[in-house]
Structure formats: structure tokens, C-alpha cells
Amino acid sequence: METGNDSTKTAVFAGGCFWCTEAVFEQLKGVSDVESGYIGGAAETADYKSVCSGLTGHAEAIKITYDPAEITFDQLLDVFFDAHDPTQLNRQGHDIGTQYRSAIFYDGEDELRIAQTKIESLNASGKYSRPIATTLEKLSVFYPAEAYHQGYAMLNPDQPYIQYQTFPKVCKVRERHANLVRPE
């Protein structure tokens, strides 16, 4: 999705709890902003309490603003697939429900083609013992999550969920995609 600035684009992904996916993508070169939010349901149910019910159609998702001259959509997908288990249907670990589904919200035929090719390639490679369950969904309205969810991992590093769920994913991406991680 194009943004107001000609040099940036946005991508929207869902890969389980948005605290985890936000922290993973915030560390990447070329990424200027990562916002947690909801996508897939109606405006009146785009709040944490409603989405937690699993009945809204929303997924916990992130909107990534990035510079395609520094990081490509294809590279973002590489990180996305390494940051969670894309073979789990409607769950990530102990987080269960459609709100935790693995999804790529594509904007246009190019993003759809790139995502389809990536999934086909990963399935053919045997990297995963099960087929990828990630859905490809046409981009719809992204609703920002409540303020206390934004930057949650960075603001709450001692919270047990962050320690045991988020940080291992951040470290895994740092190891596998060191060339894409911003120097500290």
C-alpha cells in the first residue's frame, strides 16, 4: 500500500500476538514505523476486548511502514515466515483463535503474486513439516490498537509474556536475518 510519502510503502501482516510481531519488525533496517492493530472485521468491534472473543473476524495485526529502497516486500515476508509458525491454523502456541491467524493482507496484484510465490516456494522446500496455513486476504481497513499496545514489548521488557514469547522471536530473526537488522 502506498503512503503519503513517495519513498515509503506499508505492509500488513498477522502472525499471532501483535506484541511479538511488532517487536520483530521494529528492529529492521528500512522500517520506519510498526503499528499494532486489528483488521478483518467491523469498526465497532476493533477493540481489544471484542477481538479477544474470537468472534469479530479481526486478526491482531501490524502495519509496517518501510522504505522499499532499503528492504523489499519479499524480505519482509522472509522475516514474517521466520518470526512465527505459519503452519498453525488460527493459533500461535498458547494463543488460540482466529484473531491469532497467520495472514498476509495484500494490496494489489504484485503483493499477492509475491506472497503466493513465497508460500509455494516454502511449501516445496520442505522447510516445514506441515503445509503453510497462512491466508492471503485482500487489504481492508486497518484499525490501530489502543495506545497501551503500541511499543508494548519495548515498554514492558520484564513482563513474562514478553520474556518467554516475544524476545525469543526477536532473537531468532536477529540470527537468521542479521543483514536486515539495524545496527545498535
What pLDDT does residue 3 have?
52
Count of C-beta atoms within a 10 Å radius of residue 154: 13
38's enclosing H/E stretch is: strand 31-39
> What are 175's three cell numbers?
540470527
Give one DSSP letter per residue of 131-146, joined into a string: ----EEEE---EEEPP
What pLDDT does residue 115 have?
98
Annotated active-site positions, please? 17
What pLDDT does residue 1 have?
55
Average pLDDT, integer, range 107-118: 98
Q: CA neighbours within 13 Å on the CB side: how many for 152?
A: 25
SS3 78: helix
Q: Are 58 and 38 in contact (CB under 8 A)?
A: yes
What pLDDT does residue 68 have?
97
> What are 162's three cell numbers?
514478553
Percent of the chain at pLDDT > 70 equals 97
> CA-CA distance, 177 to 160, in Å (whole number)?
25
What pLDDT does residue 5 have?
54
Q: Which of 14-18, 117-121, 180-184 has the lowest mean pLDDT?
A: 180-184
Percent of the chain at pLDDT > 90 equals 95
Mean pLDDT over all residues of the chain? 96
pTM for the model stands at 0.95
pLDDT digits (tens, 9 = 90+) for 12-28: 999 999 999 999 999 99
Amino acid symbol at 173:
V
> What are 129's three cell numbers?
513439516
What pLDDT does residue 128 have?
94
* pLDDT band (50, 70, 90) for residue 149: very high
What pLDDT does residue 184 have?
78
What pLDDT does residue 101 have?
98
Count of C-beta atoms within a 10 Å radius of residue 40: 25
Count of C-beta atoms within a 10 Å radius of residue 129: 6
Cα–Cα nearest to 75, from 64, 60, 89, 86: 64
Over 90: is that where the pLDDT of 70 sits?
A: yes
- What domains does the chain contain, in order, with CATH numbers? 9-165 (3.30.1060.10)
* pLDDT band (50, 70, 90) for residue 57: very high
